[in-house]
Homo-oligomer: A and B are copies of this chain.
Amino acid sequence: LQPVNLLELEEAAARVIPAAGFDYIAGGAGDEWTLRENRAAFERRQIVQRVLTGKVVADTATEILGTPIALPTIVAPMGGQAIAHVSAEAGTARGAAAAGTLHTVSTVATLSLEDAARAADGPKWFQIYLTRDDGFNAELLQRARAAGYGAIVLTVDVPIVGNRERDRRNGFVYPPAAAPRNFLDAAGRLRPIERAFQPRLDADSIAFVRRHGGLPVVVKGIATAEDALLALDAGAAAIQVSNHGGRQLDGAPAAFTVLPEVAAAVQGRVPLILDGGIRRGADVFKALASGADVVALGRPVLYGLALGGWQGVQSVFQHLEDELRTVMQLAGAATVADIRRTRLYG
């Protein structure tokens, strides 16, 4: 896979993923206003050309929660990856490792968290959705720790599933082959999942995950100063600014739009991860220059997976790194630290 850019992958992926599955991946909530806005917000800020600094791009490497990564972009958690490709999370894990970055495995991954962990030896985090069953939650967290995950990503922006109209039109449900193995009961039957999600989430939820996981907790789905401070107080190790890729609250501002507000509240006490609409090296640059420590990539990873298996995933990250390097050089930033010091325009 040699993408000219990550935007055109969507169209190509639409030709290889079955239609309803593609809609599930590509779609957003409601009018998909927030989905589009996640991209549009990046256009409202500009990067100024700096070309007399005498700097030459040295490196795109950075780290997040102590884990070194080759570029400031990691894999966002996404469920049911068998919808995109038969290798599912194993392909994504292997591709991410090959690209030198970190992979997050979803609670509702097709593969069990143990199988996903085994697929590659790159760094990995486990993303948890709390269900109403605390026993099961604790069990999942212990399994994650046992399987060697380095952190737990607690996703808090799905107290209820968003209004995904494409899915309602398509009558979409996960096909059996993509069913989340973590939810298989003793008899190998799937428990009803989404309705089992815990809608009540607060500081105690974070404390629960810290206690039972024994790992640093990244709180994902923060979009305001208020929630950021709640998460900080409850001991979050990192905050992932996200509106779930426009899949939950349509009419919410872009993730990139609220990033400065969250950054101002957090004041560097914990690292910030941003996801939503990242498609260009320039987007990565703008996010880092606006307060993010790293960004996470969602849909393009699945398109790469669908189009080229683990190598497709690797290509996606390599391509993004190439774009980022070009932007860095033209903006006079030799390192990721330089990017963070850059002021944007607009």
Contact = CB atoms under 8 A, between A and B. Distances in A.
Contact of A46 (B205, B253, B326, B327): B253
A30 B282 contact: yes
Contact of A226 (B50, B251, B280): B50
Given A160-B330, A163-B326, A169-B4, A252 B48 contact: yes
A56 interface: yes
A142 interface: no
Contacts of A252: 46-49, 330
Given A56-B200, A282-B250, A159 B330 contact: yes
A5 B33 contact: no
Nearest to A244: B49
Most interface-central of A7, A52, A57 (chain B CB within 10 A): A52
A54 B200 contact: yes
B159 A224 contact: no
Total copies of the chain: 4
A258 B344 CA distance: 13
Interface string A314-346: 000000000101110111000000000000011
Interface in A189-211: 199-205
Contacts of A201: 51-52, 54
A202 B48 contact: no
B329 A160 contact: yes
B47 A249 contact: yes
A56 B201 CA distance: 9
A53 interface: yes
Interface in A159-192: 159-160, 162-163, 165, 168-169
A275 interface: no
B4 A221 contact: no
5 contacts: A49-B223, A51-B159, A56-B159, A249-B330, A252-B330
Interface of A: 4-5, 7, 30-31, 33, 42-43, 46-57, 156-157, 159-160, 162-163, 165, 168-169, 199-205, 219, 221-224, 226-227, 230-231, 243, 248-253, 257-258, 280, 282, 286, 323, 325-327, 329-331, 345-346
